[in-house]
Amino acid sequence: MVYLQKWDAPSANESFQDAEEDIAALTGIAVGHSTQQRLVGRQNFELPSAKQGVSELSIDGGKVRLRDLQSGDSSWRDYKAVRLQGIYYGAFYQDNDSLIDYVRTQHLLSPLVCLGDGHPGVWNLFREIAPESRRCEILDWYHLKENLYKVGGSLKRLTKAESFLWNGEIDSARALFSDCRSKQARNFETYLTTHQNRIVNYAYYQAEQLCSIGSGAVESAIKQIGRRLQISGARWNMASVNPILNLRCAYLNGKLAI
């Protein structure tokens, strides 16, 4: 069992420098920010196991800013976050295999509702997690709507198309843009074709409360994780990214005592 030190919670919620001051004020113990970072790197924060069968999961990508120790430059890189049942957080940097393994250790129900945006990497992960016969893939409604309105043009036509898509009537929505020659309209047509098997009757799913119709839970997770990773001026060594992701998720999963 991992022993969680008293300073884990502050450093999971704020910079190591600010946590150093708070720990000293609250406990009278001096724990330097560099010491905190080293301790976090040594800890093994276990991801939670769902207490019930998992019928719904969503995956999304977030950004973390890296620091190049030699050049001093910084660049943004992607990490993946998963949310089980809209409750449990997990995040992984350049480690899709661990994300897949983590989800597979849960009691996955059938059908397993997989919610995501239009990024192909997300759907590739879902395919690795569960076979097609056990998956129900749903394209995030808000992402679909966002892409629809990128087409522009007649607001009346866009509103009508939104109504068709809300009811899962893809062909009717596509027909509204058959006479459009704009690049945006053609891109949207391709988008519909790519995701047509993931566009459901959202109105019915919502009315019957069958499952979520948007990946808001995992998008909220990305924001919550980002509040620690993207604090002002934060730049991370590559080796520090997964430890701070694990620490932040442990905090969000309620595993750290304050």
What is the structure's pLDDT at 251?
84
Task: Report the candidate in 215, 165, 250 with the shortest Cα–Cα distance to residue 60.
Answer: 215
CA-to-CA distance for 30 and 12, rounded, in angstroms? 17
pLDDT along the chain (258 residues), means of 10: 48 56 60 62 78 93 82 82 90 95 95 91 96 95 95 95 97 94 94 96 91 82 85 82 88 75
Give the pLDDT of residue 125: 96
Listed in order, strand segments (DSSP E) in the chain are 54-67, 74-84, 88-92, 108-116, 135-139
Asked if 103 contacts 128 with a C-beta cutoff of 8 angstroms, the reply is: no
pLDDT in tens, 4-45: 444 555 556 555 555 555 556 566 666 565 666 666 666 777
Q: What is the DSSP letter of 52?
A: S
Name the DSSP class of 236: B
How far is the C-alpha of 206 from the C-alpha of 142, rounded, in Å? 13
Contact 116, 59 (CB under 8 A): yes
Residue 48's contacts (CB-CB under 8 Å, 6 or more residues apart) are 88, 253, 255
Q: What is the pLDDT of residue 26?
A: 60
Quick one: DSSP state of residue 258? -
pLDDT for the residue 186: 94
Note whether 45 and 250 are within 8 A (CB).
Answer: yes
Gap between the Cα atoms of 252 and 10, Å rounded: 12
| Partners of 40 in the β-ladder | none
Cα–Cα distance measured from residue 247 to residue 27, given in angstroms and rounded to the nearest whole number: 21
**Closest Cα partner for 185 from 157, 227, 206?**
157
Query: Which residues partner with 56 through β-bridges?
Result: 113
Spacing of C-alpha 178 from chain mean position: 34
pTM of the prediction?
0.81
